Structure formats: structure tokens, C-alpha cells
């Protein structure tokens, strides 16, 4: 047969070849005609709805924890958003209205979600993609209310390419990246939650193909090219060979420079030591963000000094077999806001994102945990494998906080010296996450070795839009002119102060933005391991002078639309 090419949106910059397997979960939205309202007990139906709501919440919490373990904390936040939708006052009011009109619980649920789904569908960009999240919550409730068996997408044969109208985050989180060769969907976008999870799992994915995808039958051989955003059915021998041995986005083990010789470090974001080997396989030069809070989660007590030492050494040793003195940046415990830890008994706050979190906790009520962590880190820095270790403080907003953190490091060093233990002072750095930190980047640079821009939090604080609230999604684009100007200010100020500048937010791992980041003068980019090959290749193809001209053009415009047009 002649190969057929279908275009969509590439969500994961990798290529896979396999056999098409359609995923068609049972349609729970086709409901029977409701009975006479006079025969329906509103009280009984309300109890049914509340029971289903509680069961759905339990499922979501379980899926959140499983996703956190398999993929990462940021991806697991998808399910926090779904929990918010599940208990959204507008949805609950709609259900209550339907029950009051004599509808059975399933019909009341369907009616309550219909308006919000249509509303989101009429929006642009990421907001339109939130309609899929609402459908996921609606269908979960309907499945529970109608006692419909849950489809098992996790049990697929090796080299399967999953085809679907749409995949929900809970569907995608079940997939085994060792068995699934790719994903292709009729609807969806690159910033949809399912696409983010697929990208983190390293599964090739193309979304938003449209109804033409229906023409591919079960059992058809399929190539999923997440780099080009193309799905190829019945590929020719040459197409298949190219897909199985792609020259594009090939792993580049060595450090890279731009076409004109400008060096740029490409590192990995890690949540656990187990992720280090995968990052090395993808060509990571080191670690730009080790989220140490993962060591504190899913347990009943914090890790002690020895356990932390072993975890940090493990990561350093994994990279030291690949690179001489690799830089491994460990972010000290960053909890509070969207990252509670039950056994630490954090006081709930009306807006935790603006409350006591990050370094504020470490310098106050969690000083003991901070000191224990620093003891472990300074001893790791004295080992051969840990020679490139760096320590980064989260959510620093004032010079006073930074100086207090540095004094704590010096104090720990004195303690270790008195105890006769080997230690070394690693590179020290600061996360740039707040508007205040962008204005103090020059002062920070005079006191530490580096700064690293966390674009996810920086965007939410500059835009005054809480990042885990779905209604604020339209404000979460790091290409907002205000955010870009804050990044530019930070880079210039830090360089003037003699510090190097990294970036470890989602923005750093988007190959389409690499040229812009080169032009802005970033020294290091840190990202999910799967995007490292594509970013490295893009760096090699980038001319620094052209990149600087692009950055200057982007910084000169005032709207997001103008930025996107220039890019």
C-alpha cells in the first residue's frame, strides 16, 4: 500500500514505529431517557452523586501519587487540577439544580458539565484544551454512577501505537513507555495535560490530527514522528528505516556549542536518583535541577543525613561515568504552597504560593532539616564524584535571606571541620522565581556563583496567576512580554555580577524556543531528559548573532501575539 501521511501537532520530539491499536473506551455519555421527575428521589440521587464524587476523588489521589512516582511532581499536579474541577462550586451548583429538577444523578452530572465544556471549547490555546480535563472528570463520575467497567489501557502488547479520539491524563499515566511505541490522537494540543505526561514518559506523540486519523485501522503499521508532527500509516521500507534510525534528534553525548562556537550546557531536571541513568542516555551534560523534596515525600519521617548523602552521591556517580566533574545542581528542600508534606505539619494558608515556603521555611521552623541537608551536601562535595556538586536555594526574595542561607552553609562547614569530617563548599546559587529576585539578580550574583530561572513559578508570580488554577491557564505562558523582559533583566544583571545563568522551567526544554534563549544569553538549560537531544541539535544549528537579533526583536514588542508571530 502507498504510505499515508497525516499532520498534527508534535508533542514529544521522538520517533516511534509500531502497530496501531485503537483505544475506544465505552461511551458513558449516552444515557437513557430520564424517568418521570415525580418518581425520582432527590435525596437518594444526591447521596449517589456524593458517593461517586468521593470515589472519584480517591481515584484521582491514587493516580496523582502513581504519576508522581513514575513521572514527576509537576506532572502529578494535573490531578490536583482535576480534584479542583471535581469540587468546583459552579459544577456542584449545576448538579444540584438538575437534582432539584427531578433528574437522576447521571443526567444531572451530564447537564452540569455541558455548559462549562462548551465555554472552554470556545476559547483559544491552552484554555480550549482544558475542555478535555472537564470531560475526563465528567466521564469518571458517569462511569461510577452507571457502574461501567473502567477500560484498561495499561495492558498493551509491545510496540503498540495507541490511537484515540482523545487521551485523558489518567489514560496516559497508565501507559508503559517500554511497550508503547507512540500515541496519536484526533484532538488535543501540545500543552494539554495528556501531552505533557506523554512527553515526560518519553513516548512519541502527535496530537490534534483530526478525523482523518479514523482512516487508520487496527493492526496497521504506523510511524509516529513527534519531532515533525506527522503520523505515517503503511510506511515504505525507507521511511521505516529512517524512523527506526532517526538522524534528527540523535543523542549527542558531548557538550555542544552554537554554530559559531558559543558554549551552552544542556542538563536534566531530576526528581529521584533513579532518573539519572535515563538522563545520561539522552546526553545530559549534568543536572540543572535535582528536586530534593522528592526524598521527603511519600514517607512518614524525613530522610536522615546518611540517606540523603547516599542519594546525592548516587546521582553524581551516575554522571561521573559519563562526564568529568559533571555539574549536579541540588535544590534544597522546596515545600509549601503546592508542595505540602504531611508529616511536617505545614500550617494551611489562604494563598500558600504567597506564604511561608521554600527558603523561608528552611531559615525558620525547618532549620533543622535544612542543616541536615547541607551537612549531607557538603560531604558529597568532598568526594571525587561530587566535585561538580552545586547547591541552589529556592524562592529567595531578599538579600537578607540569601546571606542567612550562606551563613548557614559556613556554619555547617565549621561544624564538620570540628568533627573531623571531610567536606567542601560547593558552588552556591539562587532560584529566580519572583519579581523581587529579578530586581536583585545583581546583588545575588555578587554573593553566589550562579542563578537559575524557574520559569514556571516566575511566570505565575509576574502574572499574579496561581499556576495550579485552571482558570488562570491563559496567563501561564512564559512568552508573555513581561516574563521575557524579566528574564532579560536577570541575565544581564547576573552576568554583570559575575554569575552564570541557568534556566530550569518548562520553557528551557522547548526546542522551538532554544534560539531565543541563546539570544537572551542563557548559559545553561535544564529540562526533561527526553527533550535534551532536540535542544542540543538546535543549539548546534543556531548562530548566536542571529539569535541575539531575534531576542532584541521579541523584547521590543508588547503583546503575546506579537511575540508568537516573531518566533
Euclidean distance between CA atoms 228 and 225, whole angstroms:
6
Contacts of 196 (CB under 8 A, 6+ apart): 75, 78
DSSP single-letter state for residue 192: S
Nearest to 228 by CA among 391, 495, 9: 9
DSSP single-letter state for residue 396: -
Residue keyed to cell 529567595:
396
Residue keyed to cell 496530537:
207
The secondary structure of 128-190, three-state, reads HHHHHHHHHHHHHHHHHHCCCCCCCCCCCCCCEEEEECCCCHHHHHCCCCCCEEEEEECCCCC
Instruction: State yes or no: is 540 an active-site residue.
Output: no
Euclidean distance between CA atoms 553 and 538, whole angstroms:
20
Residue 69, CA distances (Å) to 4, 119, 271, 297 in order = 38, 34, 9, 10
Phi, psi (5° rounding) for residue 6? -120, 130
Q: What is the DSSP pairing of strand 256-257 with strand 263-270?
A: antiparallel
Dihedral in degrees, nearest 10, Cα atoms 178, 180, 181, 185? -150
Query: Hey, what's the cell of 298?
Result: 511519600
Candidate list 193, 242, 316, 366, residue with the active-site label: 193
Residue 30, CA distances (Å) to 25, 27, 44 in order = 13, 6, 22
User: Any idea what the Cα angle at residue 177 is, between residues 179 and 212, rounded to 5°?
Assistant: 80
Q: Distance between alpha carbon 556 and the CA centroid of its chain, in Å? A: 29
Nearest to 205 by CA among 164, 262, 238, 236: 164
Residue 410 region, left (φ>0) first, then alpha (ψ -120 to 50), else beta?
Answer: alpha
Instruction: State yes or no: is 322 an active-site residue.
Output: no
Euclidean distance between CA atoms 191 and 4, whole angstroms:
26
| Cα atoms in the Cβ-side hemisphere of radius 13 Å centred on 400 | 2
Cβ-contact 146, 166 below 8 angstroms: no
Residue 546 region, left (φ>0) first, then alpha (ψ -120 to 50), else beta?
Answer: alpha
Phi, psi (5° rounding) for residue 146? -105, 5
Euclidean distance between CA atoms 264 and 523, whole angstroms:
5
Candidate list 82, 107, 366, 504, residue with the active-site label: 504
Cβ-contact 141, 162 below 8 angstroms: no
Q: What is the DSSP pairing of strand 205-207 with strand 9-12?
A: antiparallel
Within 10 Å of residue 560's Cβ, how many Cβ atoms? 18
Q: Supply the residues annotated as catalytic.
A: 193, 504
Amino acid at each position: 500500500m502507498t504510505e499515508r501521511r497525516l499532520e498534527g501537532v508534535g508533542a514529544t520530539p521522538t520517533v516511534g514505529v509500531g502497530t496501531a491499536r485503537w483505544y475506544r473506551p465505552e461511551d458513558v455519555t449516552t444515557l437513557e431517557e430520564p424517568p418521570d421527575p415525580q418518581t425520582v428521589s432527590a435525596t437518594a440521587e444526591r447521596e449517589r452523586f456524593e458517593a461517586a464524587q468521593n470515589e472519584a476523588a480517591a481515584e484521582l489521589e491514587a493516580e496523582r501519587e502513581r504519576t508522581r512516582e513514575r513521572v514527576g511532581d509537576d506532572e502529578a499536579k494535573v490531578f490536583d487540577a482535576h480534584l479542583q474541577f471535581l469540587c468546583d462550586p459552579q459544577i456542584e451548583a449545576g448538579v444540584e439544580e438538575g437534582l432539584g429538577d427531578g433528574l437522576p444523578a447521571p443526567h444531572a452530572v451530564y447537564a452540569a458539565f455541558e455548559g462549562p465544556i462548551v465555554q472552554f471549547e470556545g476559547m483559544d490555546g491552552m484554555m480550549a484544551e482544558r475542555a478535555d480535563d472537564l470531560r475526563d472528570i465528567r466521564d469518571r463520575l458517569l462511569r461510577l454512577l452507571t457502574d461501567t467497567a473502567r477500560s484498561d489501557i495499561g495492558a498493551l502488547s509491545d510496540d503498540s501505537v495507541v490511537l484515540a479520539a482523545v487521551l485523558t491524563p489518567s489514560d496516559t499515566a497508565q501507559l508503559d513507555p517500554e511497550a508503547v511505541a507512540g500515541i496519536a490522537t484526533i484532538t488535543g494540543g501540545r500543552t494539554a495535560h495528556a501531552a505533557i505526561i506523554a512527553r515526560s514518559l518519553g513516548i512519541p506523540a502527535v496530537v490534534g490530527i483530526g478525523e482523518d486519523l479514523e482512516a487508520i485501522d487496527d493492526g496497521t503499521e504506523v510511524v509516529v514522528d513527534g519531532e515533525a508532527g506527522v503520523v505515517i500509516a503503511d510506511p515504505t521500507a525507507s521511511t521505516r528505516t529512517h524512523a527506526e534510525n532517526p538522524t534528527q534528534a540523535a543523542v549527542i553525548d558531548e557538550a555542544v556549542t552554537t554554530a559559531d562556537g558559543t558554549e551552552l550546557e544542556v542538563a536534566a531536571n531530576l526528581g529521584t536518583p533513579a532518573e539519572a541513568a535515563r538522563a545520561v542516555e539522552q546526553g545530559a551534560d549534568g543536572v540543572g535541577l535535582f528536586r530534593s523534596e522528592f526524598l521527603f515525600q511519600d514517607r512518614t519521617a524525613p530522610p536522615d543525613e546518611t540517606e540523603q548523602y547516599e542519594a546525592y552521591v548516587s546521582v553524581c556517580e551516575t554522571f561521573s561515568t559519563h562526564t568529568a566533574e559533571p555539574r549536579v545542581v541540588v535544590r534544597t528542600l522546596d515545600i509549601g504552597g503546592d508542595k505540602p508534606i504531611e508529616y511536617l505539619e505545614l500550617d494551611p494558608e489562604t494563598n500558600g504560593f504567597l506564604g511561608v515556603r521554600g527558603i523561608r521555611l528552611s531559615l525558620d521552623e525547618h532549620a533543622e532539616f535544612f542543616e541536615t541537608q547541607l551537612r549531607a551536601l557538603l560531604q558529597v562535595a568532598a568526594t571525587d564524584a561530587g566535585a561538580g556538586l552545586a547547591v541552589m536555594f529556592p524562592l529567595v526574595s531578599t538579600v537578607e535571606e540569601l546571606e542567612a542561607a550562606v551563613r548557614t552553609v559556613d556554619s555547617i562547614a565549621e561544624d564538620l571541620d570540628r568533627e573531623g569530617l571531610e567536606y567542601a563548599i560547593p558552588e552556591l546559587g539562587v532560584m529566580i522565581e519572583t519579581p523581587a529576585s529579578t530586581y536583585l539578580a545583581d546583588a545575588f550574583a555578587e554573593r553566589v556563583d550562579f542563578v537559575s530561572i524557574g520559569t514556571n513559578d516566575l511566570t505565575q508570580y509576574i502574572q499574579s496567576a496561581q499556576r495550579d488554577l485552571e482558570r488562570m491557564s491563559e496567563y501561564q505562558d512564559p512568552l508573555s512580554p513581561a516574563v521575557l523582559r524579566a528574564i532579560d533583566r536577570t541575565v544581564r544583571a547576573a552576568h554583570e555580577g559575575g554569575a552564570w545563568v541557568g534556566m530550569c522551567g518548562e520553557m528551557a526544554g522547548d526546542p522551538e524556543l532554544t534560539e531565543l534563549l541563546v539570544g537572551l544569553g542563557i548559559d545553561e538549560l535544564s529540562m526533561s531528559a527526553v527533550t535534551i537531544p532536540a535542544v542540543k541539535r538546535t543549539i548546534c544549528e543556531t548562530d548566536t548573532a542571529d539569535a541575539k537579533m531575534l531576542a532584541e526583536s521579541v523584547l521590543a514588542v508588547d503583546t503575546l501575539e506579537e511575540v508568537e508571530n516573531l518566533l
